[in-house]
Amino acid sequence: MKAILFSLLALLLPWSAWAGPAPKQPQPGTSTKSTPKPTPRALTKPTWKSTQQNPAGKTAGTQAPHRLFQRANQLYNQGSYRKAAQMLEQLIASKEWANFAVFYNLGNSYVRLQQYGLALAYYRKAQRLHPNHLNLLHNIQMIYRRLGKTEAQQGGMRIKFLFWYYLLDLKMMFYTVVFLTSFALFLWAVYIRRKSRGLLGLRWPLAAFGTFTLIMWLSLSIKLYQERYRTSGIIIQPRVTARSGYGTQFEPLFRLTEADEVTVKKQLDVATPNGKQSWLRIEATIYSKKEKRRVRQSGWIPAQAIKTI
């Protein structure tokens, strides 16, 4: 019994450590002294995160990827945010460099360009790889404050009781589930082997641990579906009208604004006099003045109006 309690304590200690605040990364070329906190309604310059140089591999354009990354870093610090964003887009196109640092830095560049929809889209991409990064979460909140929006998050109680879902990325959750499953099978084997020796008191702790393992499996399945099989997107235009059909001739239903988050349900290419145009059937949670609450609505918008995650 004591061994089980100590094992559970050892399992929970890393989660409590991960949940603690991470130190902020200093910007390149600046001192590490603390700076005053920004006012709540000011969108401050995001922290620029650099990484260690990787060995030269495939080229992106005419430069090695790590040199291109460092060049984008220099351009960002010089205030050439557009050129820095273009170089980082090249790195993402190479796919091998589509990592957290590139997504995060690209989001920073678009914030400085005041393209908050694109910035939020790349921040969300980075969040899938590092969901509990302190500076990243701060920058996302600042975008919503700057646009006067309320971040579309789950309820506080759900985040508190399902903390592992919002704390762990997909890879870390998979390893955690594998460990819990292996440990649960080990405890079950011990229970079956020593049941005849009077260890019936192990029954309820084993049942509780098995139930928690099943919950973790369910959490992993939901996270896998949401990140791999469900397409999400961010509105990148100032205003977009969702319509009842795939074309401007259909009735307008509701409006979306920059940095609104939507779920893509279907894509359809429509022939127009100027060529083919892609339309997306999306779902979004918006505030209804009639019902005086946030409701789920669906409609069709042009594909160029959103950036998929």
pLDDT in tens, 15-50: 333 333 333 333 333 333 333 333 333 344 554 554
pTM: 0.69
Q: How confident is the model at residue 201 (pLDDT cuts 50, 70, 90)?
A: low
Q: For position 239, what pLDDT does the model report?
A: 92
Q: How confident is the model at residue 228 (pLDDT cuts 50, 70, 90)?
A: confident
For the segment 141-183, what is each residue's pLDDT rounded down to a tens digit? 899 988 888 665 444 445 556 667 777 888 888 998 999 898 8
Q: How confident is the model at residue 236 (pLDDT cuts 50, 70, 90)?
A: very high
Entry field: residues in the chain = 309
Distance, CA of 206 to CA of 42 (rounded, Å)? 51
Phi, psi of 54 (to 5 degrees): -90, 155
Q: For position 159, what pLDDT does the model report?
A: 54
Beta strands of 236-274 (E only): which ranges? Answer: 239-243, 252-257, 261-272
For the segment 72-130, what is each residue's pLDDT rounded down to a tens digit? 989 999 989 999 999 999 888 877 777 899 999 999 999 999 999 999 999 999 998 88
Burial class (CB in 10 A: 0-12, 13-18, 19+), 30: exposed
Q: How confident is the model at residue 131 (pLDDT cuts 50, 70, 90)?
A: confident
